[in-house]
Amino acid sequence: MHEILDKENMFSAIWDFPENLSDALEIGNNIKLDQEYHKIDSIVIAGMGGSAIGGDVLSILEKENINIPFIVSRGYSIPNWVNENTLVVCSSYSGNTEETLAVLDVAITKKAMICGVTTGGTLADILKKNNKDVVIIPGGLQPRAALAFSFIPITKLLQKIGILDTKIDIWLPNIIKSLTDSRKINSLDSSQNPTFELANQIYDKIPIIYSDNSSMSIAALRLKGQICENSKMLSYHNDLPELNHNEIVGWENNSALFNHLFVLWLSDRSDNKRVKIRQEITQTILNEKKVDQFVIEMTGNNFQDRFLNMINYGDWLSYWCAIAHKTDPSPVKNIARLKKELAGIV
């Protein structure tokens, strides 16, 4: 059935994630810098949606190697502290994201060091006109399906600029192999596939995704976005320990709604010891409320492996939710409508 529903072939976009990682690494290794970078003391990754998440992924996979302030900026502005010693990386798959272009204008005004990652569009034109480095990545994908072409080129950009001592060339090949193996199961539309099975439990509910803010938080954010865009379903996420200071109290009233909710826990062996205890207590509280819950945890020898497999697991889960709804995963009609109406308003 999925071949009939999936008219724009999101299946292949998810299936090709290992190959995209390999291709993106080659693009990154071939980056040649034309401008000089000096005395960088902070980094801003500017982007929206599927382009911004690349900065988030970089921040968690390279958290041990980032030694200066690093933020991902989603919106029309950047922090007031951005100056000539700040590196601003503008990431826009289409090259026409209006928020990112607005940030580019501000960054130029602030005389920040600027570079970009895009398929082309206005972003590439402005960067080239201003003699700024721009990494051109392959087009033809939905931005959310181009994750590999977002975080890997940015990672390699920072390495070549000299502000990130990444070991991505060492750990990525083994992850590509593990993803190539796992997709053989995750792509099956049968009970042998855990993502297919879980999708059929959650597709008619609102998934609430919880995680440790020091480990799988970005994977939770990604999964929430994928469920919204691919599955056309509402979904929400929050992190431990923060949710234990507010949201946990929200599980008291409106209990008649609880049977429409499904809590997904993204766990990892690297989770903070105290957070693991908090998760167990919170799960007990939710069990007493008769809330459906499911724990997702990846195997793997290193965090990068487990994290990228969690990302891909979530992508497949969102795909199978779309199919359960008899929905084409690719179109994002409300986003297209919003952009069209915005274009007519100055």
* Dist. CA 185–CA 240, nearest whole Å: 30
Say whether 339 is catalytic: yes
The fold for domain 31-166 equals: Rossmann fold (3.40.50)
pLDDT in tens, 282-329: 999 999 999 999 999 999 989 999 999 999 999 999 999 999 999 999
Point out the catalytic residue in the list 245, 273, 290, 333: 245
Structure-block tokens of residue 224 = 């929430």
- In the sheet where 292-297 sits, what is the strand order? 236-240, 206-212, 261-267, 292-297
Go through the chain and tell me how many residues it has: 346
Q: Using alpha carbons, select from 135, 38, 142 the residue that is nearest to residue 91.
A: 135
Unique residue bearing structure tokens 């909710």: 261
Quick check: 211 and 307 in contact, CB under 8 A?
A: no
pLDDT in tens, 146-175: 999 999 999 999 999 999 999 999 999 999
* Dist. CA 317–CA 40, nearest whole Å: 40
**CB under 8 Å, gap of 24 or more: what pairs does 159-163 form?**
160/31, 160/33, 161/33, 161/37, 161/40, 161/87, 162/37, 163/37, 163/40, 163/43, 163/68, 163/87
* Dist. CA 221–CA 74, nearest whole Å: 14
Range 268-275 average pLDDT = 98
**Which of the four CATH numbers 3.40.50.10490, 3.30.450.40, 3.20.20.20, 3.40.50.300 does domain 185-324 have?**
3.40.50.10490
Point out the catalytic residue in the list 62, 229, 232, 237: 229
Structure-block tokens of residue 255 = 């209990």
Point out the catalytic residue in the list 110, 160, 276, 339: 339
pLDDT in tens, 2-60: 889 999 999 999 999 999 999 999 999 999 999 999 999 999 999 999 999 999 999 99
What pLDDT is recorded for position 1? 75
Please, where in the chain does CATH 3.40.50.10490 lie?
Answer: 31-166, 185-324
Unique residue bearing structure tokens 């799988």: 216
pTM confidence score: 0.96
